[in-house]
Structure 1
Amino acid sequence: MPNVVLCGYYGQGNAGDEALLLTLLQMLPPGVNPIVLSHNPTATSQAYGVTTVPHKSWQTLKAIAQADGFVFGGGSLLQDVTSLGSLVYYAALMKWAQLLGKKTIAWAQGIGPLQSSCANHITRFVLRGCTGITVRDQASADLLKNWQIPQAIAPDPVWVLEALPFAEMPDLPHPRIAVNLRTHGSMTLKKLTVLQVALKQFQQQNKASIILIPFQKSQDEAIAQQLYDALAEPKVIIAPLQPQQYKSLFAQVDFLIGMRLHSLILAAAACPCFALNYDPKVAQLQQQCNLPGLDLDQLPLDAEALSQQWTTALKTAQRLTPEQQRTIQTQVQAHQDILSRLL
C-alpha cells in the first residue's frame, strides 16, 4: 500500500481548508494510505481517521522521506501576501520531496498573488520539479503557461464535497441571511463600520434573520461577535463542527453575503450569493459563476446604497442551476484524474 504525504493548511481551524482536505481524501485512489501534515495532528487524526504528523517538525521530513508520494494542496498556498516565510516553508517541503525522487503533485492550486521577484522565482523553481499539477483558476493556468509549465485546470475541488446533515439550525423566520466576513488588510475599521450599518438597515428593511457564520475562529469570530452585538433580533452565530455540514446549513438559508471563497462555493448551489471580493480568487469565482458582488477596495461608504444593493440581489440573484452544478462537478474530475494517474 503506497504511503502519500498530504501537505496543506490543515489543522488550523479553517473550514475551507478542512473542506479541501476532506475532498482530497475523498478523491484519493483506493489502496493509498494518506499521511497528513497538520498544525493539530491529534484533532485531524480524530476527525478524519488518518495518520498525522506535526507540520513543522523533523517528523515531517522523515515522513516525506519514507513515503511514496507527496501531494501539495490545495488552495492559495504559494503566495507572499500572507508572508514570504509561509511560501518558503511550503516550497522547501515540495523541493525536499522532489530531491528524494518522490512523485510530487501540486494539487488544486491557486497560484499567487506573488508580489516579489523572489516569490516568483521560488514558485517557478519548485513547480517545474512537480510530477503533475492542477490549478483551480484561469489566472493560475495562464501564469504557468507563461512559465511553460504543464498543468490541468479545473474548478475548486470543494464543489464536489459530499454533504452531511445539519440539524441544529434554529427555527428562525425567513428571509434568513447568512453572513461570512473575515479580518484582512483591506477590511479597515471604516469599511467594517459601513458594512455593520448597512447590515442593520438590510435586516430592518427585509425583516430578516441574520445568521453569522465564522469559517475560521481566529480570523472570523471577532467580527461575527461584533456584528451580533450590533444587530437586532432575530440573530445567531453558527459554526458547524464538520465542513460537510456547511452545505446543508446553506440549504436552509435564503441568501449569503460572503467574503471567504469557500463560503461562496459551499453556498452557491444552495442559495443566492453576494460576494465581497478581497482577493483575486474570489473575483475569479464571481466571473465563473456570474455572482453579484463588490470589490472590497471599492466598497461604497454610503451604507444605505450598499443595503439597497443587497436587497436587489436578494430579490433577483439565483442559485446555480442543476445544469451548472453538473458542468462544474464534471470539470472537477480533472483533480481526481491526476491522483488516479500518478498515485
Structure 2
Amino acid sequence: MASKLTTNLSIPKGKKAIVVGYVGGINVGDEAIVAVVANVLKEQYEFDVTIASGQVPLSQEYIGSAFSYIQAFYPGKGLDSRGHQALLNAIKDTDCVVFAGGGLLQDVHSTNLMRHCTYFATQAKRMGKHVLAFGLGAGPIKSAQGKALLQMFMDHNDRVFVRDTFSKQYIEDTLKVNVPHLHVGFDSILLVDRISKSGQVAAAETNKKWAGLCLREWKGFGLTQAKELTKALVNSGYQVLFMAYEKKDLALYAGLKAEFADDIALSDEQHFDSSLSTVANLDVLISMRLHANLFAILAGTRFVALAYDNKLKSVIGSLGFEERVLDLNADVAGVNVALATDFAQNNDKLALMQNTQRQHFAELLGCLNEQASKVSISKRYGARWFWALELSLKPRLRKAAMAVGPVAGKLIPNGIKKKVRQILGFDW
C-alpha cells in the first residue's frame, strides 16, 4: 500500500503553509482532517500555518486559535474584490499550499468544491509556489467541467497522495493517463496518535452503555431506518448518543428525539477534541460518516460502518476492517450481529499504517527541498483564460442575460437557451 519514493526527508523548518480543504462548511470530518494536518505542520515541522476557510469564525471555534486564518471564497458567501486580493496576497506570501485531504475531487452536488481547490492550485503555481495534496479522495466526477478541473488540479500539483487505491485508479481512468506524481497512502486522520478513552461521553449520570449514531439523510435511508436502529439499541440497553456531523443532520436527530425522548441525546461536536473524545468513550458506534468510523478505529471502539458510497468500503477496507462495513440497506439483525462481533483491533498493524502515513507526509514535504515543478506555457495560459472566463466574463454575461431575458427570452429558440444555460451555469 505504501508508495515507494526517493525523497530527501530533511524537511526545512519554519516554512509558511496555507492549508486548504472543505473548510468552514461545517462538516466535522473535513474540519477534523484540516485540524490534524495543520497541527502536524505546526508542532512537528514548526510551520507558520494559515488555514483558508469559507467561514472563518466557525473554523476558529472547531479547529482552534493556534493558527492564522484567511477568508476563502468557498464554502460561504464569497469574496468581494478586497477579500479576493487579500487571498492572493496570502498565497504570494506563503511557501506552499497544502490540500489537507477528504473528498475534494468530486462533483456530486456541483463543481464548486473542485473549482475552489483548483483555483488555489493554479494561483499558487502561477506564483511559483509548491502545491502539495495529501489524503485526497476522488470520485464520482460526472460533468465535463469536473473532468477539466481534475486535469487542471493534477497539472498544478507537485505531488499528490490519495487515501486509497480506488481514488488513484479513478483519477487515472478519468484522465486516461498514468500520473507520475500521484501516490497511494491513507486518510489524513491517520496522522493522529491512538485516541485514549477517558471521562464520560455526556453529562447525564447513567449506568447504561453508550451507543453512538452518526447518520445522515441519503437516498434509501431516512428517519424510518434511523428509528429502527435506535429502537434496537435502546432495547439492547444502550443510551444513544446522536452525532451530527453536518447541520442538516440535526433534522434527523429532532425526529429521533421526538420518538425516544430521554433515551437519546445530542453529542457536542463544537471542537475537534470533543469529536475525538466522544467516539473514544462510546461502547459501540453505528456510523455513515467516514471519519467517525476512523476515529473508532484509532480509539478501539467497536463500530459498524453503513456504506452510502464507495469511499467507506474502500478506505475502511484498506485499513483491514472491511468486515465491519455493511450496505446502507442492511437490516437491524445484521447490524446487531456485526456489533456483537469482537473488534479485531491489531495494534501493531495500525501502528505500522500510522508510521507509514507519517512517512508519506514527510515525503510530501520533501518536495520543499526541490524546485517547485513547472507547468507548461499552454497549461498556464489555459488556466488563466479559464479563470478569466469564470470569475470575470461569465458573471458579466449572466448579469446581461438576466437583464435581457424578460424581453428577449420569448424570441430566442429553446436550443440556444439550453446552450446559454450550459455555458453560463444558471437557469435562463
If the length of structure 1 is used for normalisation, what is the TM-score? 0.88
Residue in 2 aligned with 1:180? Answer: 214
2:231 pairs with 200, 203, 208, which one?
A: 200
Task: Quote the Cα distance in structure 2 between the aligned partners of 1:132 and 1:307.
Answer: 43
Residue in 1 aligned with 2:142? Answer: 115
Q: How does 1:1-343 map to 2 (within 5 A)?
A: 1-28=14-41, 30-45=45-60, 47-56=64-73, 57=79, 58=84, 59-146=86-173, 147-149=177-179, 150-162=181-193, 163=195, 167=200, 169=202, 170-184=204-218, 186-188=219-221, 191-204=222-235, 206-216=236-246, 218-231=247-260, 233-269=262-298, 270-288=300-318, 289-296=321-328, 299=329, 306-318=331-343, 320-343=345-368
Task: Quote the Cα distance in structure 2 between the aligned partners of 1:334 and 1:212.
Answer: 35
What's the CA shift for 1:262? Answer: 0.4
User: CA 1:317–1:285 in 2, change beyond 3 Å: closer, same or farther?
Assistant: farther
Task: Quote the Cα distance in structure 2 between the aligned partners of 1:276 and 1:119.
Answer: 27
Are the counterparts in 2 of residues 259 and 278 from structure 1 also a CA contact under 8 Å? yes
What's the CA shift for 1:339? Answer: 4.1
- Paired letter, 2:22: Y
Task: Quote the Cα distance in structure 1 between the aligned partners of 2:163 and 2:244.
Answer: 24
If the length of structure 2 is used for normalisation, what is the TM-score? 0.71
Q: Classify the secondary structure of the residue corresponding to 1:81.
A: coil
Task: Quote the Cα distance in structure 2 between the aligned partners of 1:177 and 1:42.
Answer: 31
Larger Rg: 2
- Paired letter, 1:295: D
User: CA 1:247–1:45 in 2, change beyond 3 Å: closer, same or farther?
Assistant: closer
User: CA 1:315–1:21 in 2, change beyond 3 Å: closer, same or farther?
Assistant: same
Q: Summarize deviations over 1:286-335 as a string: whole Å, max 9, x none.
A: 42222423322xx15xxxxx221122122114152312321321221244
Are the counterparts in 2 of residues 3 and 68 from structure 1 also a CA contact under 8 Å? yes
User: CA 1:290–1:99 in 2, change beyond 3 Å: closer, same or farther?
Assistant: same
Unaligned runs of 5+ in 2: 1-13, 74-78, 369-428
User: CA 1:275–1:99 in 2, change beyond 3 Å: closer, same or farther?
Assistant: same
Are the counterparts in 2 of residues 152 and 334 from structure 1 also a CA contact under 8 Å? no
What's the CA shift for 1:264? Answer: 0.4
Cα RMSD after superposing both structures: 2.3
